[in-house]
């Protein structure tokens, strides 16, 4: 367990993932009924952008910083869709010691009094930082546990509404197959839940196999709504730093596909290398 998200916080992949996350959470919050977010690999919640790790890679400058700089040129339609994300991230960057909000901080900002959050984090120091960063938020529970064990234990939530975010570090060679196995168990227990799985795109073959396996899982569980959304800032090259990533979305809000089709071309334009960046959205 060597992965530290502090090196990558606020990069193009975080921007993409967190913009989509805010769209899903904002949709869930439209109805008054309580819902729950289960974050299987939660991280620290906030990341110091002036810290040694963030300074070392500078990835956030090509991600969230660029997005904020480009704000004025965004169409009104895209502005409206990314407004919940920027309303959380921009003030954090404007602090005296700039920070980037991770998924727990984003959830804490968007969930209401009646909603609940469970954050699983296996790294003891990271879990302790997350607890500290969330303060006394009575809606939130931080559990130092393997995220996939947490998934098995906390699904289905009593509210029977909500989102599971699966965002592992992909240190293990078999991460794709572990996700498929544990997602299969989760959707069997809670087929109406929404799930969002992040993954890196380093080569095409493994991703195609992953989609096929997820498709089989959804068919077996009788789930008809599966979507994949990909975003790359450059050509995919396994020998170069990560340039592409994707999300598998199970039971996403019905508006999400159209929203992603509006947001993604603009993200490609702002964060991508012209002529090399791109996006792809398809049903699974
Ligand atoms: C990509 S980061 C999470 C980022 C976070 N979801 C966000 O969007 O801000 C992955 C996190 O998973 C943690 N982790 C690694 N192995 C884990 C495991 N088996 N179970 C739970 N967490 C784990 C790492 O310590 C790291 O904080």
Top mutation candidate among 2, 4, 5 for ligand 1, by most atoms within 8 Å of CB: 5
Question: pLDDT digits over 69-85, tens only?
Answer: 998 899 999 999 999 99
CATH of the domain at 67: 3.40.50.150
Cβ of 166 closer than 6 Å to ligand 1, yes or no, is: no
pLDDT at 1: 75
Distance CA 80, CA 165 (A): 23
Helix axes 103-110, 124-134, angle to 10 degrees: 30
Model pLDDT for residues 32-54, shown as the tens digit of each residue: 999 999 999 999 999 999 999 99
Among residues 14, 39, 115, 167, the one annotated as catalytic is: 167
pLDDT, tens digit, for every residue of 213-257?
999 999 999 999 999 999 999 999 999 999 999 999 999 999 999
**Residue % of the chain over a pLDDT of 70:** 100
User: Could you give the number of structural domains in the chain?
Assistant: 1
Cα-to-centroid distance, 150 and ligand 1 (Å):
12
- Per-residue pLDDT band for 2 (boundaries 50, 70, 90) equals confident
Query: Residues 155-190: pLDDT tens digits?
Result: 999 999 999 999 999 999 999 999 999 999 999 999
Distance in angstroms between the alpha carbons of the first and the last residue of the chain: 31
Assess whether pLDDT exceeds 80 at residue 12: yes
Q: Ligand 1 center to residue 41 CA distance, Å?
A: 4
Residue in the structure block whose two tokens are 């159209």: 258
Task: Identify whether 115 is a catalytic site residue.
Answer: no
Nearest CA to ligand 1 atom 25: 123
Mean pLDDT of all residues in 22-37: 98
* Distance separating alpha carbons of residues 198 and 246, to the nearest angstrom: 6
Ligand 1 pocket, residue 172 CB under 6 Å: no
Question: The whole model's pTM is what?
Answer: 0.98
* Tokens describing residue 248: 């598998």
Is residue 126 within 6 Å of ligand 1 at its C-beta? yes
**In ligand 1, which atom is closest to the CA atom of 5?**
2
d(Cα 24, Cα 260) in Å, to the nearest integer? 11
CB-based burial label for 115 (10 Å; 0-12, 13-18, 19+)? buried
The whole domain housing 43 covers: 5-283
Residue with the smallest CA separation from ligand 1 atom 12 is 41
One-character DSSP codes across 24-62: HHHHHTTSSS--EEEESS---SEEETTSHHHHHH-GGGG
Cα–chain-centroid distance for residue 183?
16
Measured from the CB, is residue 59 less than 6 Å from ligand 1? no
Which of 147, 190, 165, 166 minimizes the C-alpha distance to 107?
Answer: 165
Three-point CA angle 111, 116, 117, nearest 5° = 90
Tell me the pLDDT band of 57, cut-offs 50, 70 and 90: very high
Residue 194: other Cβ atoms inside 10 A: 23
pLDDT on residue 28: 98
**What is the DSSP code (8-state) at residue 273?**
P
123 lines ligand 1 (CB under 6 A): yes
Ligand 1 binding pocket mutation candidate from 145, 169, 242 (most atoms within 8 A of CB): 169
Q: What does the pLDDT read at residue 162? A: 98
CB of 120 shorter than 6 A to ligand 1: yes
Q: Is the CB of 207 under 6 A from ligand 1?
A: no
């Amino acid at each position: 367990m060597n992965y530290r998200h502090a090196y990558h916080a606020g990069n193009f992949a975080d921007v993409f993932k967190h913009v989509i996350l805010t769209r899903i959470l904002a949709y869930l919050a439209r109805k008054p009924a309580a819902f729950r977010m289960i974050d299987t690999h939660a991280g620290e919640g906030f990341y110091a952008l002036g810290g040694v790790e963030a300074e070392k890679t500078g990835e956030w400058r090509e991600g969230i910083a660029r997005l904020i700089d480009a704000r004025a040129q965004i169409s009104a339609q895209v502005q409206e869709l990314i407004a919940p994300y920027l309303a959380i991230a921009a003030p954090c960057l404007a602090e005296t010691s700039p920070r980037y909000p991770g998924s727990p901080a984003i959830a804490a900002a968007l969930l209401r009094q009646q909603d609940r959050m469970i954050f699983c984090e296996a790294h003891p120091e990271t879990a302790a930082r997350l607890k500290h960063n969330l303060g006394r938020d009575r809606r939130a529970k931080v559990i130092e546990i393997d995220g996939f064990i947490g998934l098995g234990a906390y699904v289905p939530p009593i509210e029977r509404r909500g989102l599971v975010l699966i965002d592992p570090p992909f240190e293990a060679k078999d991460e794709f197959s572990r996700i498929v196995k544990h997602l299969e168990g989760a959707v069997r227990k809670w087929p109406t839940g929404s799930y969002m799985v992040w993954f890196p795109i380093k080569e095409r073959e493994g991703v195609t196999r992953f989609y096929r396996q997820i498709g089989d899982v959804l068919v077996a569980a009788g789930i008809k709504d599966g979507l994949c959304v990909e975003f790359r800032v450059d050509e995919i090259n396994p020998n170069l730093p990560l340039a592409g990533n994707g999300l598998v979305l199970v039971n996403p809000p019905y508006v999400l596909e159209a929203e992603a089709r509006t947001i993604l071309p603009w993200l490609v334009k702002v964060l991508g290398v012209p002529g090399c960046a791109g996006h792809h959205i398809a049903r699974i």
